[in-house]
Amino acid sequence: MISKTIEAALNEQIKHEIYSSYLYLSMSAWAEASNYAGAAHWLRVQFHEEQEHAMKFYGYIHDQGGRVTLQGLAQPPVEWTSMLDLFQQVLDHERKVTSLINNLYGLAFKENDYATQGLLAWFIKEQVEEEKNATTIIEQLKIIGNSGQATFMMDRHLASRGK
C-alpha cells in the first residue's frame, strides 16, 4: 500500500512527465516549422518516451493501491532562436526532471518505501541517459557552429533516432 505522501508526490511527477511530453511536442512543432525534420523526429520520439514515463508512474500508483489524480499543465514555450538554443533547453529541462526524481527518491528513502525506491532507481538511470544525449547533441552543435551544411547533416543524423 502506498502512503498518501508518496501518492501525492508521484501524482505531481505524472504532471511533470506529461508536461515534458507536451514541451517536446512543442519543440518538435518549432523544428518542423523551421525545416529541421530530423530534429522534429527526434523530439517526437522524446515526446512518446515522456508519455511512457508518465504511464509508468500511473501504473505504479494503481499497482500500489493508490489513486491517480491528474493536474493541470502550463503552456510550453513555442519559440527558440536556433537548434543550439532548442537543445540547450532540452538539457535544462532534463536537469530539472533529474532534480525532481532525486527529490522523490529522497522522500521514498525517508519513508522507508523500498518499492518506490526501486521504481525510482530506473528513472535515475534513465535521467543519466537523457542528460548525456542532450549534452552530446549540444556539444556537436557547438562544434559545427553556424555552418548550414553541417547543421543539415546534423539534422539528418537526428532523424535516425529510433530507426
Does residue 96 belong to any structural domain of this protein? yes
- Indicate whether 37 belongs to any domain: yes
- What are the E-state strand segments in 68-116? none
Residue 163 covered by a domain:
no
Per-residue pLDDT of 75-115, as tens digits, reads 999 999 999 999 999 999 999 999 999 999 999 999 999 99
Domain count across the chain: 1
pTM of the model as a whole: 0.94
pLDDT of residue 162: 75
Are 67 and 8 in contact by the 8 Å Cβ rule? The answer is no
What CA dihedral angle connects 86, 154, 28 and 20, to 10 degrees?
A: -60
Structural domain for 31, as ranges: 4-158
CATH number at residue 41: 1.20.1260.10
pLDDT computed for residue 154 by the predictor: 87
Q: Contact at 8 Å (CB) between 28 and 50? A: no
Asked if residue 33 lies in contact with residue 86, where contact means CB atoms within 8 angstroms, the answer is: no
pLDDT at residue 139 in the model:
94
pLDDT in tens, 4-25: 999 999 999 999 999 999 999 9
Residue 11 is assigned to a structural domain of this protein: yes
Count CB atoms within 10 A of the CB of residue 153: 13
Whether 63 shows a pLDDT value over 80: the answer reads yes
Give the span between the Cα atoms of 69 and 162, in whole angstroms. Answer: 31
